[in-house]
Structure 1
């Protein structure tokens, strides 16, 4: 009989390398490794050789960067999603894409299960598995870190390193970088290790070597840089006059933003599984894009449409963070967001200086801003009669007066 096939989300790091070998031994299965290229750069070097040497029957290394930028990052930024007021959801938004492709490979290969190396304490396990449930409920999920036999065999990293050495698996684990990272096109995150102490100063000069995508703001150029972003229906389509794909937009803005120390966030966030965790993030291009998009909306989006969309930001961001990208409620909100973006077109000019993104102008052919109406001088359009405001205020004040009268009578 043919062996069972399991598709493993594989990064080539210590955990997934050990898990690959462990799955093959424990389940006597054929392991198909899958790595999504979503902008990790040189982290992908040598993965194919390592996976096959570790015991994978084959490995998929799929370039998903264009899909990531176009179908995941752009829709999320149209929704102005920001988790707990700070986090631009760089790790969160990548997981549904990875899981979606895992499911596609599992079906193509006839696999009965997918597996991941997410721990039982984190958010990623939820994101992977909710996506699988939404797209392929017939495929089972194996999460080794939640299995007692796996945790008994590997209570710590020392046991994992010993296991890897025993089976000839190259490892790079060391104390030189006592924290974990996750990088993609949108950001890079840092957590665990010394960062588990929320009083630890990740911005100190002694920790500058930790950062990858950006210089420290104090080391950024002393001269400000102006850039222009062109939008069409809520998506950035050009930077400084050059037409770009969504992928090229992110790559360009990451380079420019990183040079100016833009997009660093250090926060304690609330994980979906119930605990608080400390994360440090670099999102240079995303920070620029987020700011520019909001400024474009300020000129072109109807007030009540904007306020309605904004009332859904917290819900939308939580859905992404918690792994509900393919849930019907996220899709419903996205339909509203898409409608809200139909006139978000024009050009935004920004000034970048030492970690700051400063608005420096916005224009659009479909601008809702009319200087003749907004002017403090005489209104040549006669579109607004200041006297009309008297009745407007009286009507809005009526309920306040009635309420105040009731309270005053109650005190008598």
Structure 2
């Protein structure tokens, strides 16, 4: 019996039994609010359809985030990837430079470095959080290293005191990829205020969503100015750039990374309710973690002392013991048959992907392949273990999902009671 008194026995739905949740649950995000619809409609009605300068709703969005991030200079962009590209460009990453990056991240964290001719050097993860390991950073530094990129994975802040100490000791800059971690904090400091620059994604799956959009937050004025010149030529760069760089404002450095007004409008509205949604998500995911923690072999996400996950972009459950004997893929199939929206993590560690395993990549047509480190399976065992032993669960956020949280726990209890049979099935297959 579950805490709610529901019986969890019976045949698995995978074997013809009755699913715990019918019809099957499919997590949906975002839920567009009336305020968000009204914001976009208002832009249409007044003909606010494109931006060249720091104007309109974009100004409000940037001011909101600048105030939130301790006065950092902020710049709205067309995507989180564009924000990362702008950060790397503005900090000076170029051909032959090495930048230390997590292998346990989404590819957009590192691929802008490739476009700049720099070399992403991958590092292993911490076993509990999955974040980049400071010890691995320290071991990977060479005379060619110019910077460090960290991803606050699934909302958990990286161990920034140790990382910043390494950066200061070696004269390196630090970029924070905050795409998973809106509103997260590290020992009382909000992520995005710790490194030299920070990038946020406002893609539709994030707690602040623009459809597509991003934000760059810069510590130094020159970094902000160079980012403006990269992707906001003419009016915006004339407004935001001063001193010796201003002579290039009419052309910039060549790209258009401006955020669309509709995206800015959506992002502003979802930014305004972000803290309420973060609090609601924390309550529901805490309830989910408490329920799953009572089932032997399941390890809910760990949050270290002094850290807050903020948006908690992903709830990654770790499997141990008999759950691993059955295998994450088969466990996910069994839970899916019970009506749960559960699956193995979507992003493999980067070093397992062909781009990072091949060593030589045809980046430029009709030219010799670009040389990169050739990684192989086993190079970063901790990141591989985190990926192999994890399942992705929905990030429940709304009050009407509380019952679903309980049903998810019920389904896990049901499958737990059938793990020997499930393991035998896996052996037969």
Q: Indicate whether the TM-score tops 0.5.
A: no
Which structure is larger by alpha-carbon Rg, 1 or 2? 1
Higher relative contact order (CA 8 A, sep 6+): 2
In terms of fraction of residues, the more strand-rich structure is 1
The TM-score, its normalising length taken from structure 1, stands at 0.30
